Structure 1
Amino acid sequence: MINRMTWRTRVKELIYALLVVLILFFIYAVYNSAIHIYHYKTGLNDKFLRTVITTVELHESGLIVDKRSSSLGEVTPFLTQKTNLKVYKNVGEWQVIVGELHAKKQLGGKLTYSIEELNPYLNREERNPYILNSALLEGRGIKDDPHPTGAMNQLGRLEDGNVAELFFSLRTLRSPEEVLELLSDYDVKATSMAVFAGELKDFKLGNYSSSSAGHTIPHLTLRPKVQFSDNHFLSSWHTFFSLDAGITDHEQQLIADVEWMTNNIKYNGVDDDKHRLAYLKKNGVLVYGATVTGPVRELEKLKEESEFWGFRLGRIEVWNWS
């Protein structure tokens, strides 16, 4: 009799425990669904993704976030927003995946991200290929130092049926429109430009490297225009710069993006960007390097431009050019 009562008690306790687990699971499911619905309906998810896209593309020297999957944001039960997105480069007319972006932002905290690169080569750095020569900081142009031939020798050995990505620096600070005008005689497309915003002149940076050729510094990237609506929804983006379409909108968008970032986002480097913003508003947008893509024979011709120097060869793909 006692054993039967003990068995019934244990069964009841087990049933109660299962009910408690089911109730807790139900509460968790409702809570989890509610916070996801809230983040999507109120635009917090779109704002987070705008934060990620803008911060990465303006700081990562030509890397582009895959915007076709830009709705892929999630929020954890602890209200941490997270996303994993592909990053790519334009090589010819292909979008070549070069890594995966992992970003997160805790409630009230900083945006942090890392990029897991798919680099097929060891010890080959492509993240910051531009050189800011010391002469540019003093308002002078670079008069000596002939064109380095390494990248051009590589291009000369490639067959015609290839397209590639090529980086170059400038001998003087130029407006983006001037750079596009210099490129207009060649069958190439510009994908990004390195912006000079007072670094090492109006303010000091905590992290940069120097050599006899000049400085390699963290910089803002001028990108083809990316537009967001007032509620942070991604509405349109461009793949390349176009001289025919005008460049002023891209420059104005850069300043607007930096202003939006510094006012709305906590991230590493925000204080430097505030200095950059003040410089850009006062002096306008000038660049000291650019990335172009196109057929290898057209890229090879760029050595004829005396304004271009410090060539570096990037990704190479088989012909995919209209």
Structure 2
Amino acid sequence: MNALSATLMVFLIYGMYYSVVYIYHEQSGLNDKFSRSVMTTAELHESGLMVDKRGLSSVEVTPFLTQKKTLNVYKDVGEWQVIVGELHAKKRLGGELTYSIEERGPYLNGDERNPFYLQSALMEGRKFTDSSHPNGAMNQLEKLEDGNVAVLFFSLRTLRSPEEVLELLSDYDVKATSMAVFAGELKDFKLGTYSSSGADYMIPHLTLRPKVQFGDNHSLSLWHTFFSMDDGITDHVKQLIADVEWMTDNIKYNGVDEDTKRLAYLRKNGVQVYGATVTGPVRELEKLKEEQEFWEFRLGRIEVWNWS
């Protein structure tokens, strides 16, 4: 009886302790801050991957005060949000935020995590010239029937402002969902990891995403799905700077030193991009081959027609 009473007492104390821990994390906003950290860090560092914002409220807190969260990640294909993987994030008390993404692609070696190319001429301020206009993705698009929508990635021959990219896209029935930001990588500072092929580089980069906003208590207040010429893009650009400032000031994570250097570059030089992700009907995407500013097209997900 004494042993049973002791065991019950231990479970009672544990239950009370865990309840206090969970309630404190919820009431103090620590769980909302963790959710914001996960979403902001992942969406700004992954090329066009978006976090499912419906599951942000549930955060697991272990007895050892480690916060954990599992969320779906998706890409916009036409007007559908297609789940492409699962994000697993955790943060120990006083430790770094870490996350991994388990892809759910239908093919082995399928979707590219970073589909954009940065040409060395762009970093050096030289004019980028080449005689060819890569058309591998366009050959694929030609073979698709009209009743499909798809995702298309392209790089730019010159660094452009986000406004200029939207202006180039304004004549086409497509929507831009993200852009690859150049923030001084390999020019003002070195990166720990990157790959190259000749004069082309595939580098870790910040992603300009449609605007996401949070309240004072870190709870999600609103978000946009696409960039729009009608609404302008200035607010989205300002939000990118604000997000990087918040990340580097409030989160411990691998790469924070590089993001601090990126932030200094963006404050000095403004936001310029060297690639973009768009989605829309396959016939409209096919027309983008006429834009000489676009190069290195890559075809992403394809879905049946879902476009209004």
Task: Please indicate, yes or no, whether the TM-score normalized by the shorter chain is above 0.5.
Answer: yes
Pair 1:299-2:282 in alignment = no
Determine helix, strand or coil for the equivalent of 1:215: strand
Pair 1:86-2:46 in alignment = no
Deviation at 1:228, TM superposition (A): 0.4
Give runs of ≥4 in structure 1 deviating > 3 Å: none
CA contact (8 A) 2:32 2:219 kept: yes
For 1:1-322, what aligned pairs fall within 5 Å after superposition?
A: 15-322=1-308
Q: Cα RMSD between the aligned structures? A: 0.8
CA contact (8 A) 1:64 1:87 kept: yes
Instruction: For 2:132 and 2:23, locate their aligned partners in 1 and report how far apart those are by CA, in whole Å.
Output: 59
Structure 1 length as normaliser, TM-score?
0.95
Deviation at 1:30, TM superposition (A): 0.9
Instruction: For 2:305 and 2:133, locate their aligned partners in 1 and report how far apart those are by CA, in whole Å.
Output: 27
Structure 2: gaps of 5 or more residues:
none
Determine helix, strand or coil for the equivalent of 2:18: helix
Instruction: For 1:145 and 1:25, locate their aligned partners in 2 and report how far apart those are by CA, in whole Å.
Output: 73
Q: Which has the larger radius of gyration?
A: 1
CA contact (8 A) 1:45 1:73 kept: yes
Instruction: For 2:199 and 2:176, locate their aligned partners in 1 and report how far apart those are by CA, in whole Å.
Output: 24
Instruction: For 1:85 and 1:157, locate their aligned partners in 2 and report how far apart those are by CA, in whole Å.
Output: 35
Deviation at 1:140, TM superposition (A): 2.3
Deviation at 1:143, TM superposition (A): 1.7
Instruction: For 1:78 and 1:179, locate their aligned partners in 2 and report how far apart those are by CA, in whole Å.
Output: 48
Aligned length: 308
CA contact (8 A) 2:111 2:300 kept: no
Deviations 1:182-230 (A, max 9, x none): 0000000000000000000000001000112510000000000000011
Structure 2 length as normaliser, TM-score?
0.99
Instruction: For 1:243 and 1:40, locate their aligned partners in 2 and report how far apart those are by CA, in whole Å.
Output: 39
**In percent, how many aligned pairs have the same letter?**
78
Instruction: For 1:69 and 1:145, locate their aligned partners in 2 and report how far apart those are by CA, in whole Å.
Output: 48
Instruction: For 1:179 and 1:63, locate their aligned partners in 2 and report how far apart those are by CA, in whole Å.
Output: 20
